[in-house]
Structure 1
């Protein structure tokens, strides 16, 4: 208990923040700064783009600190981690070939490499890679999922744009039809009932999971429709 108190005192960022999310506690075991945080945004600052980050969400602060200190807890509600990527050679051209990659880990049975059906574009491939990961998670009864992707387009789309598009009858702020409407509709539908943390990771920057997902996506693009 004394150790926990000392850590709490020396790190002011661990103090309860205004506007937190109630009774949930976010524990970071491996990140820029380990400790217990009172909101997902604070936790995200410590784990986003951090190689091999380890974090979990708890309903009690005691369980959260147990996780930080390496002690086991029966009430841990950790997130399964998956990397997704989409690619498209000759993007925007007649002979474009797009593929999706989903990477769960070395030699993992759920690792996926597929050719993108339908319109061949990089953005569609990124969205469908995320859809595939969520489908796989649901098949394994995974409810909490951290999706790492280098596609800011996908992240911004599902977290910011889709709610606005839905309110506007699936039209943009300028009144135009949403180009990837069907793809985002599918992603939004699959996301229902899931606790998903969308994590951006820079592409081609040495992150093993992202590089592996990219390899799977490129392999998928080479497959026949």
Structure 2
């Protein structure tokens, strides 16, 4: 017969069904207080004896010492019937700060009849796997759906497909890591439980974009923290960037972005708690630059292509982009999701058709990618490429009498051979010539130019890819 062990005083108070887990919580703990019961009700009563003023469910979630090698994770699930989809959300917490958030969704027909349950339990499995991969000895799972604990501990019999699969996945995930379950009330106001709830709900909104009648864009699945990271990057790269933030009564956060040098570049972004973000602004270099950064938040290269198709009213498929990508960058080695998505965006523009009055914004993704490679190359030589204020620092080149930038002689010896130095000089000059003349926002400049044909834009992008492919040959 199963026993319920109630630990009133121990490392992590609570109710346990496994004696080996109980020993971990009480052995060596001064003044430990625990007792075994034949029913869960008796165990709960024992714990509640000293807590007359608070609901025990909430009290358990607040007052105890978390071991240094444990991580706390709040999990939640959600469901939408139109279209049928379940979602998961979890947030990992250290102290009073979240250190990791994740949301995802699923549409497996075997699980849809269980509504939000698959979102709840698969979120738990994913959270445990992350904790184990991150090197934690144990994880404390906070949940509001009791099946998360009772199926895992054998208190409930698994009858549904989702329950049967959860038990299998839980056993695999929990192998090699201690798992402690703690229940919280749904929508009880417990801060991080509400965060997990919002993440689960936002997962039902597929990341992507659609155009609005007024020319604006609606982005799905992007939260405020991600937007603020993008704004920080824009501010670091553009001294004239200005950001105003206002919070409205309906939970919407309004951001107004502007840049002095781009008079058409005022952008208004409204971010809602539901995971929907509306972007409004005229077509401009600043708008394209901002969208390039926002597209890095898409979950995959396929999402980038889907988004760009909507934005440009095109029907280019992912296979076309992948084939073109392999053609223009045959020696590529994957190193970063953000870089990969930026390069896929540049590849998409090689297949873009249609008339526009100005094509100057199309090279932005390839030039941002080149910016990344310059950082990588210079940093590999021990050179700092970002100032304390987060601004690019490429001040390692001198302009010669012909107006060409050459790496300072004292830094040349930091590279393996002269071919690498020659390549770096070519890459930096390519970057300066095009980045500074196409996207010069700080003030009006005679050097600013406009790309008037799509052929010129494609040529610049192709030249950029040709230069980047050489990187993988020279820097192995």
| Residue 79 of structure 1 pairs with residue 70 of structure 2 | yes
Separation in 2, partners of 1:85, 1:49:
16
- Decide whether the 8 Å contact of 2:57 with 2:185 is kept in 1: no
Residue by residue over 1:48-77, the C-alpha shift from the partner in whole angstroms, topping out at 9 and shown as x without a partner, is 522533324xxxxxxxxxxxxxxxxxxx55
Separation in 1, partners of 2:31, 2:206:
45
**Paired residue for 2:152?**
158
Relative contact order (alpha carbons < 8 A, sep ≥ 6): 1 or 2 greater? 1
The equivalent position to 1:96 in structure 2, one of 64, 67, 84, is 84
- Structure 1 unpaired stretches of 5+: 1-12, 29-34, 57-75, 166-171
**Paired residue for 1:118?**
108
For residues 42-191 of structure 1, what are the structure 2 equivalents within 5 Å?
45=47, 48-50=57-59, 51-56=61-66, 79-90=70-81, 95-105=83-93, 108-119=98-109, 120=112, 121-161=115-155, 178-180=160-162, 181-191=164-174
Q: How far 1:24 moved relative to its partner?
A: 5.0
Separation in 1, partners of 2:91, 2:206:
18
The equivalent position to 1:192 in structure 2, one of 175, 188, 205, is 175
Separation in 2, partners of 1:100, 1:211:
13
Separation in 2, partners of 1:99, 1:198:
20
Separation in 2, partners of 1:128, 1:153:
12
Residue by residue over 1:169-195, the C-alpha shift from the partner in whole angstroms, topping out at 9 and shown as x without a partner, is xxx6xxxx5432123211121112221
- Decide whether the 8 Å contact of 1:99 with 1:218 is kept in 2: yes
- Decide whether the 8 Å contact of 2:69 with 2:136 is kept in 1: no
**Paired residue for 1:221?**
204
Pair 107,218 (structure 1): closer, same or farther in 2 beyond 3 Å: farther
CA RMSD across the alignment: 3.6
Matched position secondary structure for 2:88 = strand
Separation in 2, partners of 1:40, 1:223:
48
**Paired residue for 2:439?**
none
**Paired residue for 1:71?**
none
Q: How far 1:39 moved relative to its partner?
A: 3.8
**Paired residue for 2:235?**
none
Separation in 2, partners of 1:127, 1:89:
16
Residue by residue over 1:122-150, the C-alpha shift from the partner in whole angstroms, topping out at 9 and shown as x without a partner, is 11111101011101101111121110000
**Paired residue for 1:203?**
186
Larger radius of gyration: 2
- Structure 2 unpaired stretches of 5+: 1-7, 10-18, 37-42, 49-55, 208-302, 304-476
